[in-house]
Structure 1
Amino acid sequence: MSGELGREQRAHWERTYTAYPGMYGEQPSEAAVRAAAVFAAGGEVLELGAGHGRDALYFARSGFAVRATDFSPVGLAQLAERAAAEGLPVTTAVQDVREPLEVADRSVDGVFAHMLLCMALSTGEIEALVGEVRRVLRPGGTFVYTVRHTGDAHYGAGVAHGDDIYEHGGFAVHFFSRELVGRLAGEGWELVGVEGLEEGELPRRLWWVVQRRVG
């Protein structure tokens, strides 16, 4: 993601969360519900791109300790307020995923990222991030993520930024090919499964991916 595009997207998300608190509603995403069934019961989950926290709160209510990160302080403040009100085991931290994760090696049991990898990140930045995810997972730990893919209705629409990144309605999205999904589950990973998933009214077409750290 270019520096300029990255700054524009961060500002856009800050404005969006400020204008529409709890914009995704109270209910967890289908992706999170599925992930909770995959993660080891009672483990610690790191969520990347937690936003205002509907999924992080769901994980915490389901018995997981949660570290929730996002590049939006506004979204995280909404999440922290709700977690504190319910006494849930959630910690929050501002994190730009283009930078190394501020998490210790081999310290979490699961990592969850719902449409975070398909934001305005270059392929190189995505590959580096997946390397960081492997670093922070304990051996045998699980990474569950979703991404919009090249079969989505918005693929190829709007402003083209190169590297399969298209901006539509102010939001820039990196659309994933199936080949890229396979490449991200290369050395050091076991690809457990890839499924199609639909979300929203368009609907958005996603890959739901589960991969496990080997070694």
Structure 2
Amino acid sequence: MESTEKDLSAVQREHWQGTYAAHPGMYGEQPSAAAIHAAGVFGAAGVREVLELGAGHGRDALYFARAGFTVQATDFSPVGLEQLREAARAQDIAGRVTTAVHDVREVLPLPDASVDAVFAHMLLCMALSTGEIRAAVGEIRRVLRPGGVLVYTVRHTGDAHHGAGTAHGDDIFEHGGFAVHFFDRDLVGTLASGWTLNEVHAFEEGDLPRRLWRVTQTLPR
């Protein structure tokens, strides 16, 4: 199973690299609805610095920077991050944004308790095993300061693509070249163990539409 997971990871990395190269700014310039919500949550919590995981070409990271936050943006695609940096320079907010190539399966290159908030829009529901997802949330917990906030979104098992396409096990299904781990409610609860689970909000996005949960959880102080 481990070798299969590694093969799928490599294929997905190459797929995203090619997708960003072929379709620069593929998600447009407007922030996601999840990022707009998160900015409000972060502002109310007194957040100054946001770590975005899976930032892609940066529409949400740039929005956070324009809203006054300092942003650390990571993604496993150097192509996407270069597009982000170019846009930050064009918008004259490059001083508020730093980037780093990072695979969420790996340890975050940050000290313990060093960031105020973490945002991840549809990153945790990529081609990650349940064990890898739990490890990633453990890393998020490590780098957040006490009282830090995590806002993430994931496609869930009520989505039309759940059970469709190529099955890879562990509720991972590949459709149109993109592999997705569809979350059930139990997994959301497991990932919130030891946190305060503030909200699990169901919403839809895109033309299918994709069905997602927006999850907000806070570390104890």
Normalising by structure 2, report the TM-score. 0.95
Structure 1 position 66 matched with structure 2 position 71:
yes
State the secondary structure of the residue aligned to 2:133: helix
Residue type of the partner of 2:110?
A: V
Q: How does 1:21-170 map to 2 (within 5 A)?
A: 21-39=24-42, 40-41=45-46, 43-88=48-93, 89-170=96-177
8 A contact 2:53–2:75 mirrored in 1: yes
8 A contact 2:54–2:123 mirrored in 1: yes
Match for residue 210 of structure 1 among 207, 210, 216: 216
Q: CA deviation at 1:87?
A: 2.5
Aligned to 2:180: 173
Q: Distance in 2 between matches of 1:41 and 1:87?
A: 24
- Range with greater deviation from structure 2 (105-114 or 33-42): 33-42
8 A contact 2:50–2:72 mirrored in 1: yes
State the secondary structure of the residue aligned to 1:186: coil
Q: Distance in 2 between matches of 1:34 and 1:214?
A: 21
Q: Distance in 2 between matches of 1:87 and 1:183?
A: 41
8 A contact 1:145–1:209 mirrored in 2: yes
Structure 1 runs not aligned, ≥5 long? none
Q: Distance in 2 between matches of 1:47 and 1:25?
A: 17
Q: Distance in 1 between matches of 2:117 and 2:54?
A: 14
Aligned to 1:20: 23
Q: Distance in 2 between matches of 1:209 and 1:13?
A: 25
- 1:70-115 deviation line (CA, Å, top 9, x unaligned): 0000000000111122231000000011010111111111100000
Residue type of the partner of 2:37?
A: R
- 1:20-59 deviation line (CA, Å, top 9, x unaligned): 0000001000000000000134510000000000000000
Q: Distance in 2 between matches of 1:214 and 1:58?
A: 27
- 1:131-171 deviation line (CA, Å, top 9, x unaligned): 00011111001000000000000000000000000000000
Residue type of the partner of 1:3?
A: K
Q: CA deviation at 1:10?
A: 0.2
Q: Distance in 2 between matches of 1:42 and 1:171?
A: 33
Structure 2 runs not aligned, ≥5 long? none
Normalising by structure 1, report the TM-score. 0.98
8 A contact 1:41–1:63 mirrored in 2: no
Q: CA deviation at 1:15?
A: 0.3
Kindly report the root-mean-square deviation, in angstroms, between the aligned alpha carbons of the 2 structures. 0.9
For this pair of structures, how many residues does the alignment match? 214
